[in-house]
Chains A and B, each alone.
Chain A
Amino acid sequence: MQLTPDDVVVFTLAGWEVNATIVNTWIVMALLVGISMLITRNLRPDVPPNRWRTSLEVIVKLIQGQIEEVTRNSARHVMYFAGTLFLFIALSNLMLVIPGFSPPTSSLSTTAALALSVLAAVPVFGIASGGVGHYLKTFIEPSVIMLPFNIIGEFSKGISLAIRLYGNVMSGAVIAAILLTVAPFFFPVVMDMLGLLTGIIQAYIFAILATVYISSATAEPDSSAVQTQSSPPESKRSTHQEEKS
C-alpha cells in the first residue's frame, strides 16, 4: 500500500524523476485550462451563450457569491485566488473516481505548496489594501505580548491547512484500499461516494479559510454594516464589533 503518489515514478526526464503527483497535477491543470479555453473561445457579444458557457457562468457566480458573503465586500482579487484554489482542489478530489488516478491532493507536497501560497498571499493582499504599517500592526493587535503567539499562529495556519486537506483525501484513499481487501465489491464504492462529498467539502473549506485569512488581514472599515442590521442603528459602537476569524 502506498500513502502518497510521490513514490510512483512515471518517467525520467533528463535525470529528473517525474513522479505521479506532478503528472496528475499537469493533467488537472490541462483539464481546467483546456476546457475553459474551449468554452470561452467564441466569447463575443453577438454569439448567443450556449449551455457550456452558461454552466461556467453559474460556477463563477457561485464562487463570487460565497466569497462576497464571507468578505462582505466585492473583493475581485481574492476571488481570483480563492476561486482558483477551489476549482483545482475540487477537480482533483473529484477525479479520485477514475481508476488508477491518484489525486494530487493526496500528496503532502501538493497540499503544502497550496498552503504556502495561501501563507504568501495573506501579507500580499494585506499590504496591498492597507499598507505595510497596517499589516504589521495586526501582529500586535490586542497587545505587544501577543506578538510571538501571532507569529506562531501564522505558521500553524499553514500547517493545519496542509495536513487537513492531505489527511482527508489520503484517508479516503487508504480506507478504500483497506476495504478493497476486506469486502471487495460493494463497500469501496460507497466509501468512494463519501470521498466525493468529503472532497468537495474540503475544497470549499480550503478556499473559505484562505478567504477568511486574507480578509482578516486586509483593512475594511465598514465590516460592521451587515452585522448590526437587526439591531437599532444607534448601536454602532466600535466595541460592538465581533471579529469572526
Chain B
Amino acid sequence: MTDLAIIAVISIFTAGMTVSFGALGPALGEGRAAAAAIAAIAQQPDAAPTLSRTLFVSLAMIESTAIYCFVVAMILIFANPFWDAMQVAAGG
C-alpha cells in the first residue's frame, strides 16, 4: 500500500470508530436523563415546564459531546490535514 492509501484507510476507519463510540456514551446518558425527567414529571406534574426546559438544556449539553465526535469525524473524512499535506508533497 502507498502512503496515501494507508492514510485514507486509517482515517476512514478512525472516523467510523469515532462516531460509533462517540454516540454510545451520549446515547446512554441521554436515556438516563430523559428517564429521570419523565419520572420527575410523573411525580410532580406541576413542575413540568421547568423540568422540560432543564431537560432540553441538559440534553443539548450531553449531546454536544457526540457533536464533538461528529465534527472530528467530518474533519478526518473531508478536511484531513495529513491527506492534504501528502497530496501537496506528492504533487510537488
| A-to-B contact residues, CB < 8 Å | 1, 3, 69, 160, 163-164, 166-168, 170-171, 174, 201-202, 204-205, 208-209
The count of A-to-B residue pairs whose CB atoms sit within 8 angstroms is: 40
The secondary-structure label for the interface of chain A is helix
Instruction: Check B79–A163 contact: CB distance below 8 A.
Output: no
Contacts of B61 in A (CB 8 A): 164, 205
| Chain B residue with the shortest CB-CB distance to A70 | B53
| Chain B residue with the shortest CB-CB distance to A206 | B60
Say how far B59's CB is from chain A's closest CB, in angstroms.
9
Q: B67 near A: Cβ within 8 Å?
A: yes
A130 CA to B14 CA in the complex, in Å?
49
Instruction: Check A201–B67 contact: CB distance below 8 A.
Output: no
Beyond A163-B68, A164-B60, 13 additional pairs, beta carbon < 8 A: A3-B78, A163-B64, A164-B61, A164-B67, A166-B71, A167-B64, A167-B67, A167-B71, A168-B67, A170-B74, A171-B70, A201-B56, A208-B57
A177 CA to B64 CA in the complex, in Å?
21
Q: List 10 A-B contacts (CB under 8 A).
A: A160-B64, A163-B67, A166-B71, A167-B67, A167-B70, A170-B71, A204-B56, A205-B56, A205-B61, A209-B57
Chain B 70-86, CB-CB to A under 8 Å as 1, else 0, gives: 11001000110000000
> Which of B53, B61, B67, B78 has the most chain A CB atoms closer than 10 A to its own CB?
B67
Contacts of A166 in B (CB 8 A): 71
Contact of B79 among A3, A164, A168, A204 (CB under 8 A): A3
Contacts of B67 in A (CB 8 A): 163-164, 167-168, 171
Instruction: Check A3–B74 contact: CB distance below 8 A.
Output: yes
The 3 closest A-B CB pairs, nearest first, are A167-B67, A164-B64, A205-B60
